Structure 1
Amino acid sequence: MAAYNQRKGFLSWLWTWLSTVDHKRIAILYLFGGGLFFVIGGIEALLIRIQLAVPQNDFLVGSTYNEVVTMHGTTMIFLAAMPLVFAMMNAVVPLQIGARDVAFPFVNALGFWLFFLGGIVLNTSWFLGGAPAGGWTAYAPLTTEFLGTGSDFYLLGLQLSGAGTLMGAINFMVTIINMRAPGMTFMRMPLFTWTSLITSTLILFAFPPLTVGFFLEFFDHIFHANFFNTAKGGNAIIFEHIFWIFGHPEVYILVLPAFGIISEVVATFSKKRLFGYTSMVFATVLIGFLSFMVWVHHMFTVGLGPMANSLFALATMTIAVPTGMKIFNWLFTMWGGQIHFTTANLFAVGFVPTFVMGGVTGVMLAVPSADSQYHDSYFVIAHFHYVIIGGVVFGLLAGLFYWWPKMFGKILNETLGKITFWTFFIGFHLTFFPQHFLGLIGMPRRYFTYFPDEGFNTWNLISSIGAIGMAIGAIVLVINIVITTAKGQKAAGDAWGIGRTLEWSIPSPPPEYNFAQTPLVKGIDTFWKEKMEGNKKVTPAEPLGDIHMPNPTILPFLMSIALTIAAYGFIFANQTSASRPLCLVIAAFGIGLMLLLMLIHSIKDDPGFHYHKEEIIEIEKGAE
């Protein structure tokens, strides 16, 4: 009987997570999914550094090395950084704008499951015929004509994940525009909400070109359509344009939420309002606009001519101006503040000089004549990682330590957190700073080995040692999470005691309905403003009453499973001609099942459920 009850308890727990549409639970799912793929991508990075630690190593060679490099880049960009950004957005944005959930909870859940199962499809390539080996950019015709089934896993896995990302972005745009609490004008929104809005807008315009490019590659690879096969009249350069029209805005899709996190953390732990709020907002909007005008700087060496190169060089240098404004505003926010060096703030402060270094090398790469020398060297690798890890990952780690109490109701151990910061920070700079010199003395990227007399030995060894430091920092973070979950310090609603925005005005973790009464927003940093007026809570904009919430549903998970079946059908249709008819039937079945589930959802009457006024009063008393 006990075993039955345990099994029943586990099944109930599993059903809760598979069917949830609560934005806070979906944030945790994104955190788990992104964290899992971050670990996988980190292991792949360590394998690369082991191979390059010494000259003429044979740990990973040839196509195996290409597969690991491809999977590392693809996993970190699409399956780790993106979902971790969505984890922060799901956990925080509805709370910061005073909403009870996102605009479309069903679509929110569907977006997560598409991302996660797309990542599973991609990573099963290791066991089902070989991982993709064409680089994370998947350039044609290399991917479409010369590589095997790994390309199919890449194209179909990322199509699933990309669809989930696009759904999430549209959802957050609608949520932020339509569901702000009374009094929260656009110019009163917290910076993280602003950067989430601009990020969602960038995704809306950047992901469709990528989707089109991958569909064309898919037809080239599976149905031999010749869109990019130059031998049969195609144009491979067109795919580079398509990819980088997505690829450069993607950098800002990842880094703008990190900018928002840094703005929140620095202001909170300096006990000051963010310096130059208005200029920060307009700088964010300008960065988003300019991010679509710079993609050709990735293609300075393909021969587009001096006019095109000059125009895109100018645009690339211009985007450094609003980015530089943010750097100075963060510094001025800290200037004269009562700075608390928590782990979250250490990552925020460490972010500033690190990201500046990445930005400076970006301006160097914006010069076409110089880029012809830097291109495809380890200098580009160093620049890219200073932006993506020194910017995005540092920002996400700052946000993780900052909002962990709000998400889980417990504060991560600060001692272990500082160990994580210093090992990760020092390890990062040891890993990637030497790679600038490797690039300048001629080490090309994507090569799996080098000779002892080329002058690369010492810098590569230092770089590999630094990677171990980063791994130690990540391991300590996992230990911290385990210890905190088991016996961590419980967090109050205003966990740091100096919270400024609405999420800190409610219990930690929040109840399912978030706000018992919709708050009335009186200004920027409205919770801080209320505290300065002597109020313990934010002024409500409505009387206490019943609250309607959506029901959980398993349909998003089942719809994602259906599309995953279709993806595998198309993948294996390209394996052998004998199995192609059966595999195409399986693909058609998956698509048909998806359409059926959509029909069921469209005709299903889902009235949701109510928290009654008396029940809300009891919950709020318990939280106090």
Structure 2
Amino acid sequence: MSTTAAPAPGASREELAALEEHWGERPSLRSWFSTVDHKRIGRRYLVTAGFFFVLAGLSALAMRTQLARPESRLLSPQEYNQLFTMHGTAMIFLFATPMLFGFGNFLVPLMIGSRDMAFPKLNALGYWVFLFSGLFMWASLPFGAAPNAGWFAYVPLTEEQNTPGLHMDVYSLGLLFLGIATAAGSINFIVTALKLRAPGMSLNRVPLFVWAIVATAFMVIFALPALNLDNAMLFLDRRFGTHFFDPGAAGNVLLWQHLFWIFGHPDVYIIVMPALGIVSAVLPAFTRRGVVGYALIVLAIVSIAIISFGVWVHHMFATGLPRLSYSFFSAASTIITIPSGIQIFAWLATMALGRLVLKVPMLFLIGFIVTFVLGGFTGTMFALTAFDQQVTDSYFVVAHFHYVLIGGAVFPMLAGIYYWLPKITGRMYHEGLGRWAFWLVFAGMHVTFFPMHLYGLFGMPRRVYTYRSEPGWDGWNLVSTAGSYLLAIGLLLVLIGVVHAIRRGRPASPDPWEGDSLEWSTDSPPKPYNFPVLPQVHSVHPTWDEASRESMGGGATGDRILADGRRTLLTSELDGRRERAVEMPESSLQPLVLALAMLVFFTAMLVAWYPVAAVAAVAVAVTIAVWLWPPRRPDRELGVRA
């Protein structure tokens, strides 16, 4: 049993019992499927994204084993194509963003002093759609019908005449399905952060992690339509004979690349931005001071979110576009390193001015800075058009983006797992096991991917399933394969450490790290209602601030306890002034039913059962109508229903 905080003096036992009655969910099979609790949904995101990460990681190990020696026959070309496509697609779309959204689901309401997300039922729908879309795509692999033309799906390679079968139909429909969850989650984060902050939490007191999540959500809203349009046109080309990408029928092959990378390059920051927010959230606890340059970091986050939409063409420097255009995108690709550098220097200054506590989360943060800076250094090299054209489609590119995505996203994720594990589970991890995991992951990552820079420069192209021994790539490939197994062992130790903590870890106190944000003022794990008394925030470090702490204790009034229903506070967007209490929805099976109807629709479209797809579309419309039908609550204001 976890160690929890004593009942808040500001809430009586009767009020606590009322809150438990209104917000609690009795354990049952129905409640497992119908829950709208952001904490349960956040945990499910983390576990499900971790499961897809394991599948993608096993695919990577199979590929690295195939490439360990020249002319290996472990995998056929067809099997290799499906594995490397599913590896990239899953890591980008089914692991990185959903895992970070899982942290956001669990933490954002806790960090801003709310009792749930703005739209709890929409939150549940997002999870079920994510789960079903991931299973939809991975289920194609055992049937030999998985996507097989790369996670970027360039046309005309992916047109029906060049890639027959269901392979790329699975890709286009799967990503369209998944896009529903991503868009729903993004809207939810924006509204939650703008309208459900605790009284007194003005914009200059919002935690940096929340800033990062909101900036990411805005990026998704603007970037995702381009990807959805691309996939819809690809599916129409393949299935119904349209000619969006056919030059012979007034189409344009490069239209796919433009639309894809208009989404694709902001997506790099969609993945990395919340991870950078994790860094800013974890650092104060292990440096014993606030992050240096709060305002500059916020400015950097917003700047990256905007500038990232102006650099997509640096992925197309080898396509023959007008050379004058290259200079603009080269300049933008260089400029975007400035706000990233501001954050790096702010973190280094925080570490230099603070008192370092080298626990496992801090070790992963240091590993992140080392790895991410190296990845950023090679990234600036790609901003030079001449260099980019020389290394395009080589293993140098593979090395670069793994340094950026593993260094920039996975290392902060691992830091976040160890940091918030006590809050999520109520149990402490084993420090020694965690340190072993860090060193194996850090060493394995660099042994795997650093040699790729070298044999990329030596001419090895990416996306090849085998190679001859004459070019001299075999030794470097063997080193990379050995490193991949070392990395896998380190990640396995992370998993073992999490399971060990849940089963045998010592109980965690509410604030084992002396953190600075509001989640550390709740029980470990938090109660269903999060806060017995909704806080009144007086600084950017509320748990280090006496007035903010006292606001959750003695002297609290009923207008911040809200024990007479399932309610939370609505506040103003800029300065966090209290506006009114809003009613939150109870658990419901509607999100699950709607997601299942969508699954039937996309599956029927995949196998060309169009009458079934039409029936499923009607079921989707009916479920949405029932969802939105006004409830009969004449005695209460409607509040937030979704």
Q: Which moved more, 1:20-29 or 1:409-418?
A: 409-418
Aligned to 2:588: 553
Aligned to 1:296: 313
2:612 is equivalent to residue 594 of structure 1? no
Aligned to 1:56: 71
Q: Which one of 446, 461, 478 corresponds to residue 444 of structure 1?
A: 461
Cα distance in 1 for partners of 2:329, 2:556 equals 50
Aligned to 1:404: 421
Query: Structure 1, residues 374-418: CA drift from partner, whole Å, max 9, x if none?
Result: 100000000000011111011111111111111111122221111
Query: Structure 2 counterpart of 1:276, which letter?
Result: G
Task: Look up the SS of the partner of 2:319 in the other structure.
Answer: coil
The within-5 A match list for 1:344-363 is 344-363=361-380
Shift of 1:533: 8.6
Query: Structure 1, residues 99-128: CA drift from partner, whole Å, max 9, x if none?
Result: 111110011011111111011111111134
Cα distance in 2 for partners of 1:568, 1:533 equals 52
1:17/1:25 contact within 8 Å kept = no
Task: Look up the SS of the partner of 1:21 in the other structure.
Answer: coil
The within-5 A match list for 1:31-110 is 31-110=46-125
Cα distance in 2 for partners of 1:156, 1:536 equals 48
2:444 is equivalent to residue 427 of structure 1? yes
Shift of 1:131: 0.9
Cα distance in 1 for partners of 2:588, 2:376 equals 45
Aligned to 1:471: 488
Aligned to 2:629: 603
Task: Look up the SS of the partner of 2:200 in the other structure.
Answer: coil
Query: Structure 1, residues 201-258: CA drift from partner, whole Å, max 9, x if none?
Result: 0001011111111111111111111111223331110010000000000010010111
2:447/2:480 contact within 8 Å kept = yes
2:601 is equivalent to residue 584 of structure 1? no
Cα distance in 1 for partners of 2:548, 2:623 equals 52
2:34/2:588 contact within 8 Å kept = yes
The within-5 A match list for 1:72-151 is 72-145=87-160, 146-147=162-163, 148-151=165-168
2:536/2:552 contact within 8 Å kept = no
Query: Structure 2 counterpart of 1:58, which letter?
Result: R
Q: Which one of 597, 605, 613 corresponds to residue 570 of structure 1?
A: 605
Task: Look up the SS of the partner of 2:390 in the other structure.
Answer: helix
Shift of 1:604: 6.1
Query: Structure 2 counterpart of 1:552, which letter?
Result: S
2:362/2:415 contact within 8 Å kept = yes
Query: Structure 2 counterpart of 1:196, which letter?
Result: I
Change (3 A) 1:385 1:508: same
Cα distance in 1 for partners of 2:36, 2:332 equals 41
Cα distance in 2 for partners of 1:458, 1:540 equals 68
1:119/1:158 contact within 8 Å kept = no
Change (3 A) 1:532 1:237: closer
1:300/1:371 contact within 8 Å kept = yes
2:291 is equivalent to residue 274 of structure 1? yes
Query: Structure 2 counterpart of 1:566, which letter?
Result: F
Query: Structure 2 counterpart of 1:74, which letter?
Result: T
2:50/2:99 contact within 8 Å kept = yes
Change (3 A) 1:139 1:87: same
2:543/2:549 contact within 8 Å kept = no
Q: Which moved more, 1:502-511 or 1:224-233?
A: 224-233
Count of residues in Structure 1 that have an aligned counterpart in Structure 2 = 590
Q: Which moved more, 1:267-276 or 1:543-552?
A: 543-552
Shift of 1:12: 5.8
Aligned to 2:206: 189
Cα distance in 2 for partners of 1:587, 1:304 equals 41
Cα distance in 1 for partners of 2:475, 2:506 equals 44
Cα distance in 2 for partners of 1:609, 1:16 equals 26
Q: Which one of 518, 524, 544 corresponds to residue 508 of structure 1?
A: 524
Task: Look up the SS of the partner of 1:453 in the other structure.
Answer: coil
1:530/1:538 contact within 8 Å kept = no
Query: Structure 2 counterpart of 1:366, which letter?
Result: A
Query: Structure 2 counterpart of 1:595, which letter?
Result: A
Task: Look up the SS of the partner of 1:274 in the other structure.
Answer: coil
2:201/2:537 contact within 8 Å kept = yes
2:118/2:196 contact within 8 Å kept = yes
Gaps of 5+ in 2: 1-25, 567-583, 637-642
2:322 is equivalent to residue 311 of structure 1? no
Q: Which one of 386, 391, 403 corresponds to residue 408 of structure 2?
A: 391
Task: Look up the SS of the partner of 1:275 in the other structure.
Answer: coil
Query: Structure 1, residues 458-503: CA drift from partner, whole Å, max 9, x if none?
Result: 111110011001110121122112222112111111122x111111
Cα distance in 1 for partners of 2:150, 2:561 equals 56
2:427/2:506 contact within 8 Å kept = yes
Cα distance in 2 for partners of 1:13, 1:589 equals 31
Aligned to 1:530: 546
Shift of 1:550: 2.6
Change (3 A) 1:476 1:557: same
Gaps of 5+ in 1: 1-10, 574-582, 611-624
Task: Look up the SS of the partner of 1:304 in the other structure.
Answer: coil
Q: Which moved more, 1:320-329 or 1:119-128?
A: 119-128
Aligned to 1:518: 534
Task: Look up the SS of the partner of 2:539 in the other structure.
Answer: coil
Shift of 1:586: 1.1
Aligned to 2:435: 418
Change (3 A) 1:382 1:607: farther
Cα distance in 2 for partners of 1:433, 1:551 equals 51
1:79/1:119 contact within 8 Å kept = yes
Cα distance in 2 for partners of 1:93, 1:389 equals 23
Q: C-alpha root-mean-square deviation of aligned residues, in Å?
A: 1.9
Cα distance in 2 for partners of 1:518, 1:533 equals 11
Cα distance in 2 for partners of 1:20, 1:335 equals 44
Query: Structure 1 counterpart of 2:627, which letter?
Result: H
Q: Which has the higher contact order (CA 8 A, sep 6+)?
A: 2
Identity of aligned residues (%): 43
Cα distance in 1 for partners of 2:555, 2:338 equals 39
Aligned to 1:335: 352
Query: Structure 2 counterpart of 1:284, which letter?
Result: I
Cα distance in 1 for partners of 2:150, 2:421 equals 34
1:530/1:536 contact within 8 Å kept = no
Cα distance in 1 for partners of 2:207, 2:632 equals 33
Q: Which one of 429, 447, 453 corresponds to residue 470 of structure 2?
A: 453
Change (3 A) 1:355 1:543: closer
- TM-score in terms of structure 2 length: 0.89
2:244 is equivalent to residue 209 of structure 1? no
Change (3 A) 1:324 1:439: same
Shift of 1:17: 2.3
Cα distance in 2 for partners of 1:452, 1:186 equals 59
1:265/1:399 contact within 8 Å kept = yes
Aligned to 2:571: none
